[in-house]
Structure 1
Amino acid sequence: MSDLRRNILRFPGKRTGIVKTSMQNFSPIKWSEYFSEEEGIQTTDGVFHVYGRGTDGPILLCLHGGGYSGLTWSLFAAEIVKLINCQVKAVDLRGHGKTTTSNDADLSLEVMANDVIEVANKLSEKTGQPIILMGHSMGGAIAVETARKLDSILGLCVIDVVEGTALDALSSMQSILRGRPSHFKSLPHAIQWCYKGGQTHNLEAARVSMPGQVLNTKTGKLAADECDNAGLSTVDESPSHSDDLVASSYTIAEVEEELEESEQSDKCTDCGKPPLPKSQKTNTFKDPNIIKLEDNGMIFKWRIDLSKTEKFWTGWFKGLSQKFLDIHAPKLLLLANIHGLDTALTVGQMQGKFQMRVLAKSGHAIHEDQPQKVAEVLSGYVVKQKLATPKPAFVHPDLPEC
C-alpha cells in the first residue's frame, strides 16, 4: 500500500495532494427557490429591493451584513415560514444588491436606519402588520438603530455583532478585505471561493447568496439578476477538476473530503468572525483562475467595495451595546462564540434584559451556516413572547418532540 493511501486511511477527513473523486456543484441557485416574490419599495431617496415569503402574520424584516444582500436570508426564510405565521421581507440595503439610491456611497448609520424606517413603514401600511427586526453584523447595528426610532416594533433579533469585539476587529479589516480576490472568472468560481474560502460553511447558502454580492463587469448587472433572466447557466459552468485546489500555486494542496453532516458540524475553525464578511482561509486558498486573472477574464466583481466604507465602520458599532439594552421590545442575541460577549451585554444578560443563544460550530454568518437551527431558536422565542403564532410543524424548544 502506498504511503499516500495509508495517510488517507489514517486521516479520512482530508486528502493531501489529490483532487476529490466527487465533484461539488458550484452552480448558482435562483432566489425563487426560497422566496415567493420580489418588489421595489420607493422611498424619498431611491428604490429598495425586497425579497418576500409568507402571506400572514407579523413582518420579519431581515437586514443583511456588509457586502451581502437580501439573498443571505434565503435558506432561513424557507425554514422559518414552516414553523410560524410570519412574512419574511429581506431587503437589499443601500449600496447593496439590486437597491438603487441617489447616493449609494453614503452608508452612515443614521442614513441607513432612516432607509429601513421608510421601508418598514411602507410594508406596514401595505400589510397592516407590525415589524420584527432581524439583523446580521452591520445589519444588526442598523436594526438596533431602527428599533430606537420605530414605534411599530414587536421584537428584535441581532446576529453575531457585539460592540466590543466589533470595534476591536476593525483594525484588521482592511487587510482582511485586501486578502479577498477582487474579480472572479465566472459565477461558479465566485461561489467556489465563498464556500472554500470560509465566508460560509454551507454550500447551498453560497450558491444562492453569492450571486447577490457580485456584478457582471461586462453588463453591469447583478449576477442574481442575470440568473433570473437565464443570462447565466446554472449547470455547465462549474469549475472543472483542473480548476480545483490541485491547480494551486502551492506544490501540495490540502483538499477536504465530503463529510457527513454531523462531521461537517464539528469542524468549524473560524467561529466568532469579525463583523464584516471575510475569509480566514484566503491565504491558503490560491486558485490561479480566481486570484490571477487576465484582463479579458475579469468577468465578475464585488457589488460594493467595502474597503471604501471604512469611514463609517466605527459609527456602525460605537455605543451599540447600550442602545441594544435600552430597547424595550423583546430582544434576542445569537452569537457564534460566547467569548464575543462584551462587559455591558454580559451584565445585561445576567439581569434578564435580553435572551441569548450561542450556536457553536458556526462562522460569522450563522443564519447561512445553520438556517434551520436559527429558525428553530427564533420561532421558539417569538412564540414564547406571543409575537407570532405557531404552525403545526412548530415544536417548542423546551418540550421534547413526540
Structure 2
Amino acid sequence: MSDLHKAFLKRVKHQEKSLGLSPLLEDSIESPTSLNRVDSDSQLVTNSSEDDVKSKDEILMDAYHQAIRLTFPIIETYECSNLGISFQTYYRPPSNSKAPIFVCHHGAGSSSMTFCKLAPSLTETYDVGKNGESPGLFVFDMRGHGNSTMPKIVDFSLGSLTKDFEFILKKFLSSHNPKNSIYLIGHSLGGSILTNYIIENPECEYNFKGLVMIDIVEETAVKSLIAMPQYIKNQPKSFPNYQRAIDWHVKHVRLINNIESAKISVPDLLMKTQRGIVWKTNLEQTQPFWESWFTGLSENFVKCNTKNKVAKLLILSGHETLDTNLIIGQMQGKYQLIVFNNSAHTGHFVQEDIPKQLSISLIDFAKRNDSPAEYMKQELGFIPKWGGKINK
C-alpha cells in the first residue's frame, strides 16, 4: 500500500471519527432483532390499533413534507412541451461559487428523495471549518417516477431517458447559471443514463469534473433483471397506510436499511387513492426496455469523457465480480473504485443506508479533482514534487 493510499485511508477514518461514526454504521439502522413477523400473505403483523396507525401516519407525512422543504429551498417543475412531460426538480444551492454541485439521478422504481438524507451529510462533511460552507445538490424525478409525469406513449428506453436528462440539465444550468464544478452522481439505472449522456455528448463544454456510479455493474445488473418479474409479482399492490409501506421496505424485503431515510424516500414512491396507498410507478411498463438499460455500460463507463476530462468513481455496496472492461480499466487507472464491504447493513441503496460514509467519499473525490495540488497538501500532507501540478 502506497503512502498516498495510507494517507487517504487515515483521512477517511479520521472523518468518520469526527462525525461520531463507527465503521460503516449509521445511527438510524435498525437491528434484525427488532423486525416484526411477516405472515404468509406478506403482510406485516403489528400490535398497533388502526387509530394509532392513522395518527402515526399523519405525523409521518407531516415530517416527510417538512424534510423536503427544509432540505431543498428551490422546488421547481420543468415543463417539456415537446414530450408532454412535467419533471419535478429539487435544488439545494451551494454556499459559494467554489463549492461543487452534485447532480444526482435515481434508478428505476425509485425517486429523487432517495438522495434526501445525503444532503445534510454532504454539508457536514464539506464544512469542516464550520464556516457555513456547503456543496450544492440538484435532484429530480425521472419520467413516470416520483412527482414527474408520463408521456402518452410509454417509453423507458435508455435513449429516451438520456434525452430527458439532457433537457433537465440544460434547463437547470440556464435557469441558475452556476459557475461551480459539477459532479454527476447516478444510482443503479441512473448511473447508466449519466454514462450514456457523456458518451453521446463528448464535445460538451459544461463544467463537469466527475462521474460517479453507485452500485451498478453491467454483468450483475443484466443477471438481476432475470429476477425482476418475480419481484414485481410479489410486490403488494397497495398498503393500508404509509407506515406499512415503510415497514415492507425496511423490515420485510430489506431494500433499505436506514429507517430515517426510508421515512422520506418511501412515501415519495406512493400516492393515496380510494384503493389505499398505491405505487406511483408501474414497473411492469418498464420491462420491454430492460435490455437497453445496461448493455455496454462497463465499456462506456471506462472510455467516456468530455473536453474537460471527467474523473470517474465506481462505488459498490459489496464485492461484485468486475467484468473484463472494468478490471482492465481499473488496472489502467481509468477510474477509482470504492467498495463498502464491511457491513451487513449496507445494501443496494448506499446513499440511504450509509449517507455519512458516502458523503466522505464524494467530498474527497470532489476536492481531489477540483484542486488536486491543494488537496494533496492540505488534506493528505503531501507536497507535489513534479513542478507543483498534478495531472488528472
Using the size of structure 1 for normalisation, the TM-score is 0.69
Letter in 2 for 1:145: N
Matched, 1:41 2:78: yes
Contact in 2 for aligned 1:156/1:330 (Cα 8 Å): yes
Letter in 2 for 1:321: S
When structure 1 is superposed on structure 2, of 361-370 and 46-55 the one drifting more is: 46-55
Give the whole-Å Cα distance in 2 for the aligned partners of 1:14 and 1:54: 40
Using the size of structure 2 for normalisation, the TM-score is 0.71
- Give 1:275's aligned residue: none
- Give 1:98's aligned residue: 147
Matched, 1:369 2:353: yes
* CA displacement, residues 35-72 of structure 1 (integer Å, 9 cap, x when unaligned): 22311122332221111112344432111111111111
- Give 1:200's aligned residue: 256
Paired residue for 1:180, among 235, 241, 264?
235
- Give 2:339's aligned residue: 358
* CA displacement, residues 59-102 of structure 1 (integer Å, 9 cap, x when unaligned): 32111111111111000122113344432111100110111243
Give the whole-Å Cα distance in 2 for the aligned partners of 1:331 and 1:207: 31
**CA shift at 1:17, angstroms?**
9.2
**CA shift at 1:307, angstroms?**
2.1
Report matched runs for 1:272-291 at 5 Å.
none
Give the whole-Å Cα distance in 1 for the aligned partners of 2:297 and 2:215: 12
- Give 1:138's aligned residue: 189
Letter in 2 for 1:81: T
Give the whole-Å Cα distance in 2 for the aligned partners of 1:147 and 1:183: 38
* CA displacement, residues 318-370 of structure 1 (integer Å, 9 cap, x when unaligned): 00001101113101110011224222112211111000101122100000000
Matched, 1:81 2:110: no
Distance 1:312 1:13, change over 3 A: closer
| SS of equivalent to 1:111 | helix
- Give 2:169's aligned residue: 120
Distance 1:140 1:305, change over 3 A: same
| SS of equivalent to 2:116 | helix
Give the whole-Å Cα distance in 2 for the aligned partners of 1:16 and 1:39: 38
**CA shift at 1:216, angstroms?**
1.6
Contact in 2 for aligned 1:35/1:78 (Cα 8 Å): no
Letter in 1 for 2:211: L
- Give 1:256's aligned residue: none
Give the whole-Å Cα distance in 1 for the aligned partners of 2:328 and 2:316: 16
- RMSD, aligned CA: 3.0
* CA displacement, residues 291-324 of structure 1 (integer Å, 9 cap, x when unaligned): xxxxxxx311111111221111110100000110
When structure 1 is superposed on structure 2, of 114-123 and 48-57 the one drifting more is: 48-57
Report matched runs for 1:43-82 at 5 Å.
43=80, 44-45=82-83, 46-55=85-94, 56=96, 57-82=99-124
* CA displacement, residues 101-154 of structure 1 (integer Å, 9 cap, x when unaligned): 434721110111111111111111222235321110111111111122341232
| SS of equivalent to 2:320 | helix
- Give 1:385's aligned residue: 369
Give the whole-Å Cα distance in 1 for the aligned partners of 2:215 and 2:35: 34
Distance 1:322 1:211, change over 3 A: same
When structure 1 is superposed on structure 2, of 107-116 and 379-388 the one drifting more is: 379-388
Give the whole-Å Cα distance in 1 for the aligned partners of 2:35 and 2:261: 27
Give the whole-Å Cα distance in 1 for the aligned partners of 2:111 and 2:153: 14
Letter in 1 for 2:224: A
| SS of equivalent to 2:147 | coil
Distance 1:344 1:17, change over 3 A: closer
Letter in 1 for 2:73: S
- Greater relative contact order (Cα 8 A, min sep 6): structure 1 or 2? 1
Distance 1:178 1:101, change over 3 A: closer
Give the whole-Å Cα distance in 2 for the aligned partners of 1:196 and 1:377: 28
Give the aligned length.
305
Contact in 1 for aligned 2:270/2:280 (Cα 8 Å): yes
- Give 1:333's aligned residue: 314
Contact in 1 for aligned 2:195/2:301 (Cα 8 Å): yes
